[in-house]
Structures are given as C-alpha cells and as structure tokens.
C-alpha cells in the first residue's frame, strides 16, 4: 500500500477535523486550544499526506498518465441513450486521481491552506470560543471540498467539490452574520454562483449525453482519437457551458460582482478562498477540460476575450479604490482574467502556473493586509493608514516582496508566470491562432496595459499604507504593533515562495535555449490534448524568434517599471497626493466611473433585480386586480362560482410560482373532497377506479 493509493485520505483528514470541531468542540463549547489542535492536525495531515503521495507517485509511477483511485461505485443508472446515438451505462464512481494537474494543485492547496490555518490561529484569537470553533470547522470543511475538487477524477466528483467550496465560501463570507451587510454579501456570492453552476450542470449533462462518460481520462482518450469536425459542435457547447460555470466561480465579467463583496468575510478567508484557491477553481477546471477547448476555436476565443477584458476592466477599478481589501479583490479579479487569457490562447500550463504563483503572492498580500487591519484595529481605509513600515517591519517587507512579485519585476514569481502568459498571447496573435490573430493581438495589448496598471495600483497601495506619516490619529497610532509569530511565519513562507516559486517550477528556459529547465511545462504537457490540424497552440513551439522573446520580456518589464514610477511620483514623494487629486478633479466623470466600479452593481440592481421584483409585482397586481375583478364579476354567475372562487380567494398570491402553487392547491382541495369519510364512498371510488383500469386494460388488450 502506498500513499497515493490512499489519496482519498487527503480530503478526508480535514473533513474529520471539520466534523470534530463542528459536532464536538462547537456543541460542547470547548476551548480555543482544542479547536486549534483539531484544525491544525486536520489540515496538517492533509499537507503531509498530500505531499508524500505526490512525491511517491512522481518517483514510482508513470507520470504522463492519470493514476485513478476508485473509492467506491457511487451512481449506477443503467444504460442510457446518448445524443450521439447508441447507449452507455451511467456509472459514476467516487474516485480520485493523481496526475500532473492534480499533483500541482494538491501541493499548493495543502501548503497555502495549512499556512492560512496557522495564520488564523493568531488572527481570530479575539473571537468567542463558539465562533472560533465554528470558523475552524468551516475552514477545514473548505479544505475537504477544495481537495475533492482538485483530486476528483470525473466531472461529477469535481462538481461535488465545486458546490462544497461554494457552500463554505457562503458560510465564511457571512461569518459575522449578525451584521446584515455580511449576511447579504454571503447570499450575493451564493446566488451569483448559482447562475454559473447552472451552466456547469448543463455541461455535465451534455458531456454524458455525447460521450457517455464523465471520467477525465476517458474523455481525454475519446477526444484525442477524434479526427475531423464531428465533435467540434459538441465541444463548443460543452466548453462554453463549462466556462459559464468558471465565470461564476472565478469572478469574471459579467459575474464578478460577488467577489469584492466577499471581502466581508474574515481576512484569512479572503486570502484562502477568495484569492488563492477557490476562485482559481474555474481556471483549474478549464485547464482540466482542455480537451474540449482544444477542439473548439470559438470556445477558446470566448475564454480569451472574457479573460483579457476582465483583466484590464478590474485593474482600472483597482486604481481608485481606497479600501485595502477592495484593491486586492479587484486585483484578484484582474489576475484571474490573465489566467483565463492564458487558457484562451491554449497556454493551459501557463494558466495553472500563474494560479500557483498567484496563490503565493496574493495570499501573502491578503494576509499582510489582514496583519495591517489587525494592527489598525479593524480599519480598512488606506487614507487612514500610512507609515506602518516602522511599526510592523516583517509585515512590510513580506508585503513589499509580494507586491514586487505581482507587479512583474524579474526574477520574482509573478514576473515569470505573467510574462509566460503575455508571451503566449503575443504568440497566438503572431501565429494567427485559429485565424483569430487580430483578436489575440488586441488581447495581448490589453494584457500589457493591465500589467502597467497592476504595477501602479499595487505600489499605490504599498506607499499609501506603509510610507509617509500615519494618518489615523494618535489613539490608533498607540495601538500599532507587529503581529504574533503565527501570523508572520506564514507571511514569510509565502513571501519566500513569491520570490523563488516562479523560477523553481516554471523557469523560462525558452529565453536561454534550455526548454527542458521549465519543469511545469514538461510535467503537465501530457495532460494537454495535442492539436489535430486545427491550428491550435502547440506547447513550447518556436513560433516566435529568440530576439523577439527577449524584446517582449523587455517590454513587459518596462511597462511594469513605468507603473511603479508613476505610483512613486504620485504617492511616495508627495504626502498630499496632489497629482491624483488634481486628476480626479479634472476628469470627474472618469474618476467617478472607476470609483463606483462602472456602476455595474447599480446596473444589475436596475435591470435584473428590479426586473425580477417588477415581474413578481406585476403578477401579484394581475392576480389582485384583473383576476379578482373577473372573479367579482362572475360572482353573480351561479355555475362554477364556488369552484372558481376556490382558486382565486387565496389571500397571499405573489408571483408566478405561487400561481402554480395555487392551481395545485385547488386541485388538492378538489381531490380531498373525494375523501369524504364514508366507507361506502371509498368502496365506490375503488369500484369506479377498477372499472377505469379494466377499461384501459381491455382497450389496450
């Protein structure tokens, strides 16, 4: 027996922790130390077992194929007819798999997850015992769901994890449920995600309908056998539907609105769920299902356009936000856009690579902001911060390193992975990928502009928070302090990862004629469906000349440096921030547009939410006036009046749903009249029923 044969233990450890903390520690109201131990053991064992399993698998098994561990047969639905003709047995196993994609994900999810558990010990210490055990129970449950998501070997197990992380996200956003805005932020996240999940579910149905299996390895095999255009239509539909799910989960246009509100949760949750892991599930899923996208140029273009536009759209909003967590939230949306841009140009490995590096520096940034908020006594407005670097040096240095990483300065992790994405986007334009070269060039330029904006708003954040003089008043200044080691240790580990992570796992060997030094490209390569004459991107090709590669590197470093320089001029050298203030006055519309996030929330409120309420009200009014009027008019008519009033006399009718309910209820009352209570009557019903069935029998006989 080996570690990787028992890979299902990895999600099971945190599940056990969640159950113990939720059912025992919480119910009995035990001390925080108990909850700590249980939660840390749960996530710690997942970390140890996950890494041990992956390493052992890497060195003993063939790591170009998926190693599937079937735990048990879950759903067996018999032979079902397929859309493509023929039948296939609906057999879905609860099974996990170890392969390069899931190995990469498991390693970083367990590591970042454990570090954030550790950080939470320090961050949440002022909560009550009950809230504390509830928090850790949810956090462990999240780890279970996330690991199920990345380890699942078929779409349905992935979907179980997908829904599980959504549930935990909802529970943790609304963790401070006594505050109404936190509770409604949780609901917003849940409802917006439902829209995406609807697409995902349809994609699962269509996948089974066309291919008769939900197993990734089987789908891969089927689709790699494919020649010609027979399945392109199916792949396009499934790919777009899957991507709708990803749009919801990974907060892309137009469903990104929930993520900034999700910052209502505790900051470690924002770091773990809403930056490092859960929101990247959409990217993981698209990369995992690359076999659909590789067949469908249109689906790829949809992914790339949504990703590229989101990247710059969210970056522009980030320019003007003053809440430290809101800036990071929009930055996350923007970075997720880059990942989808990568997936959309066929660079799935670069997408996953950016997921990993982003997990390090963005978790570090969020935890750093948590440390700052912790020190400032809950204050999140950067205008009331400043000069924190001398009070909390460890937080400052780790935060600065992560900022340099996300800004794209070599050789830190963010540079390596973001440059890989931009290079691939350029290459897609250069090689006229799928005949959409112009579009890809446009997206590459958007990405480049977004990189400059990223560098600008991140350094704006650093300068406003850590430089200059403290602007929060003397009282607050008195309380400023460095955080305890349980909080700074994760920061240091993550900052270290942000420095070396990029070069370590994704060395840009193409720049040095050492392609095989790029570990992740070689490792994950077999997971990507090769192109079959569709002109799709070919991994690691030499389409772009050597000099041009270096020119691209220089270009992206230049734009990043430009962004930093502007931020330096505007926010570091001038404590009054006079230039940006003057800009805001000079271009009031543009400023308000960005500050109010393009009024997207207001737009949705005015159209979709008001529209739904309006429809409901219309139905209610219709019922109340027109229908009741008709009823009142017919009251004089003897025939059928009592029956009709039975339908319409109900007091509470609002909306179509209840109208259907009404009809059913009325039918129900009508049926109930059959049940009058006389035995003779019952016998009559039976005899008439029997006569009816006999008649049917003899007619069909």
Partner 1 sequence: MPLEQFVPFIPEIFLAIASFVLLVGGIGLGRRGMRPLALGAVGSLVVTGILVWLFGRPAGEPEVILGGMLAIDTFAVFFKLLVLASAILTIMLATGFLERFRYGGGEFFALILTATLGMFVMASGVNLVSLYVGLELMALSSYVLVGYCKLEVKSNEGAVKYFVLGAMSSGILLYGISLVYGSLGTLDLMEIKTALVAAPQDNLVLMLGIVLMAFGMLFKVAAVPFHVWSPDAYEGAPTPVTAFISVAPKAAAFAMFLRIFAGAFSPEIDHWRSVIWLAAAMTMIFGNIAALSQDNVKRMLAYSSIAHAGYALMGVVAGTAYGTWSVLMYMLVYTFMNIGAFGLVVLLETRGYAGETVKDWAGLSKKAPAAAAGMLILLLALAGIPPTGGFMSKLYVFAAAINAGYIWLAVIGVLMSAVSLYYYFRIVVQMYLVEGEEAESGAELVRDRWAEGVVLVSVLVVMAIGVYPAPFVGWAQGGLNALGLM
Chain contacts with partner 1 (rule: CB under 8 A): 72-80, 90, 94, 661, 664-665, 667-669, 671-672, 674-675, 677, 679, 682-683, 685-686, 688-690, 692-694, 696-697, 700-701
Q: How far is the CB of 108 from partner 1 (least distance, A)?
A: 28
DSSP 496-515: HHHHHHHHHHH--GGGGT-G
Q: Cβ closer to partner 1: 64 or 675? A: 675
Q: How far is the CB of 469 from partner 1 (least distance, A)?
A: 50
Q: Cβ closer to partner 1: 59 or 697? A: 697
Q: How far is the CB of 25 from partner 1 (least distance, A)?
A: 16
Q: Cβ closer to partner 1: 516 or 668? A: 668
Report the distance separating Cα 501 and Cα 364, nearest Å: 13
Q: Cβ closer to partner 1: 380 or 665? A: 665
DSSP 3-48: GGGGTTHHHHHHHHHHHIIIIIIHHHT--HHHHHHHHHHHHHHHHH
DSSP 315-382: HHHHTT--BHHHHHHHHHHHHHHHHHHHHHTT-HHHHHHHHHHHHHHHHHHHHHHHHHHHHTTT--BG
Nearest to 61 by CA among 105, 103, 93, 30: 103
| Burial of 481 per CB tally in 10 Å (0-12, 13-18, 19+) | exposed
Report the distance separating Cα 632 and Cα 628, nearest Å: 6
Report the distance separating Cα 435 and Cα 437, nearest Å: 6
Q: How far is the CB of 548 from partner 1 (least distance, A)?
A: 53
Q: Cβ closer to partner 1: 75 or 626? A: 75
Q: How far is the CB of 698 from partner 1 (least distance, A)?
A: 8
Q: How far is the CB of 689 from partner 1 (least distance, A)?
A: 2
Q: How far is the CB of 437 from partner 1 (least distance, A)?
A: 46
Nearest to 291 by CA among 213, 364, 175: 213
How far, CA to CA in Å, does 578 sit from each of 218, 571, 572?
A: 61, 9, 11
Q: How far is the CB of 77 from partner 1 (least distance, A)?
A: 4
Q: Cβ closer to partner 1: 83 or 694? A: 694
642 C-beta neighbours (distance < 10 Å), count: 9
- Side-chain half-sphere CA neighbours of 55 within 13 A: 6
For residues 455 and 563, the answer to whether their CB atoms sit within 8 Å is: yes
Q: How far is the CB of 78 from partner 1 (least distance, A)?
A: 4
Distance of alpha carbon 373 from the chain centroid? 24
Q: How far is the CB of 536 from partner 1 (least distance, A)?
A: 37
Q: Cβ closer to partner 1: 632 or 675? A: 675
Report the distance separating Cα 503 and Cα 558, nearest Å: 20
Q: Cβ closer to partner 1: 609 or 660? A: 660
Q: Cβ closer to partner 1: 606 or 693? A: 693
For residue 1, give the 3-state DSSP assignment: coil
Report the distance separating Cα 166 and Cα 146, nearest Å: 10
DSSP code, position 526: G
Q: Cβ closer to partner 1: 606 or 690? A: 690
Q: Cβ closer to partner 1: 77 or 435? A: 77
Distance of alpha carbon 30 from the chain centroid? 33
Q: How far is the CB of 99 from partner 1 (least distance, A)?
A: 24
């Amino acid at each position: 027996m080996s570690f990787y044969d028992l890979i299902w233990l990895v999600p099971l450890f945190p599940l056990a922790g969640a159950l113990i903390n939720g059912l025992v520690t919480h119910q009995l109201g035990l001390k925080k130390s108990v909850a700590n131990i249980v939660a840390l053991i749960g996530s710690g064992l997942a970390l140890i077992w996950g890494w041990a399993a992956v390493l052992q698998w890497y060195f003993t098994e063939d790591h170009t194929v998926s190693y599937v561990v079937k735990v048990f047969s879950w759903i067996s639905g018999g032979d079902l007819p397929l859309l493509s003709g023929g039948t296939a047995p609906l057999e879905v196993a609860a099974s996990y798999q170890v392969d390069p994609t899931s190995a990469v994900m498991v390693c970083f999810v367990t590591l970042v997850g454990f570090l954030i558990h550790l950080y939470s010990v320090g961050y949440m210490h002022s909560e009550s015992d009950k809230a504390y055990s509830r928090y850790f129970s949810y956090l462990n449950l999240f780890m279970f769901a996330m690991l199920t998501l990345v380890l699942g070997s078929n779409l349905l197990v992935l979907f179980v994890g997908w829904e599980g992380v959504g549930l935990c996200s909802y529970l943790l956003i609304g963790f401070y449920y006594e505050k109404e805005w936190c509770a409604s932020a949780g609901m917003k996240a849940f409802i917006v995600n439902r829209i995406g999940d609807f697409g995902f579910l349809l994609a699962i149905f269509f996948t089974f309908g066309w291919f008769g299996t939900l197993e990734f390895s089987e789908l891969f095999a089927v689709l790699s056998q494919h020649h010609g255009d027979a399945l392109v239509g199916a792949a396009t539909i499934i790919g777009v539907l899957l991507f709708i799910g990803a749009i919801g989960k990974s907060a892309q246009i137009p469903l990104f609105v929930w993520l900034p509100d999700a910052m209502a949760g505790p900051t470690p949750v924002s770091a773990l769920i809403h930056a490092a892991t859960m929101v990247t599930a959409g990217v993981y899923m698209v990369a995992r299902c690359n076999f659909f996208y590789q067949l469908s140029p249109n689906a790829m273009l949809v992914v790339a356009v949504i990703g590229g536009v989101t990247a710059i759209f969210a970056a522009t909003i980030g320019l003007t936000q003053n809440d430290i967590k809101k800036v990071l939230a929009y930055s996350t949306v923007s970075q997720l856009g880059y990942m989808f841009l990568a997936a959309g140009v066929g660079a799935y490995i670069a997408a996953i690579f950016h997921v990993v590096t982003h997990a390090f520096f963005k978790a570090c940034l969020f935890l750093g902001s948590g440390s700052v908020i912790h020190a400032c006594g809950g204050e999140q407005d950067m205008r009331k911060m400043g000069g924190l670097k001398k009070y909390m040096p460890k937080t400052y240095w780790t935060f600065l390193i992560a900022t340099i990483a996300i800004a794209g300065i070599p050789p830190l992790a963010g540079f390596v992975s973001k440059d890989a994405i931009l290079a691939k986007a350029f290459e897609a334009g250069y090689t006229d990928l799928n005949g959409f070269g112009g579009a890809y060039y446009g997206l590459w330029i958007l990405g480049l502009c977004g990189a400059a904006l990223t560098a600008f708003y991140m350094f704006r954040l650093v300068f406003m928070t850590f430089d200059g003089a403290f602007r929060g008043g003397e009282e607050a200044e008195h309380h400023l302090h460095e955080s305890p080691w349980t909080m700074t240790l994760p920061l240091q580990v993550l900052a270290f990862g942000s420095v070396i992570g990029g070069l370590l796992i994704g060395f840009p060997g193409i720049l040095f004629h050492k392609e095989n030094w790029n570990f992740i490209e070689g490792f994950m390569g077999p997971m990507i469906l090769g192109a079959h004459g569709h002109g799709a991107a070919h991994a690691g090709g030499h389409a772009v000349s050597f000099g041009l590669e270096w020119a691209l590197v220089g270009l992206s470093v230049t734009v990043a440096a430009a962004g930093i320089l502007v931020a330096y001029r505007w926010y570091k050298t001038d404590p009054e921030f006079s230039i940006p203030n003057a800009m805001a006055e000079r271009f009031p519309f543009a400023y308000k547009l960005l500050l109010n996030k393009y009024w997207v929330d207001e737009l949705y409120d005015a159209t979709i939410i008001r529209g739904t309420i309006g429809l409901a009200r219309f139905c209610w009014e219709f019922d109340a006036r027109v229908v009741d009027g008709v009823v009142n008019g017919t009251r004089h008519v003897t025939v059928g009046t009592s029956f009709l009033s039975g339908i319409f006399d109900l007091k509470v009718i609002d909306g179509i749903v209840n109208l259907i309910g009404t009809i059913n209820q009325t039918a129900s009352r009508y049926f109930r009249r059959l049940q009058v209570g006389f035995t003779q009557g019952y016998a009559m019903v039976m005899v008439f029923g029997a006569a009816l069935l006999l008649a049917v029998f003899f007619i069909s006989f």
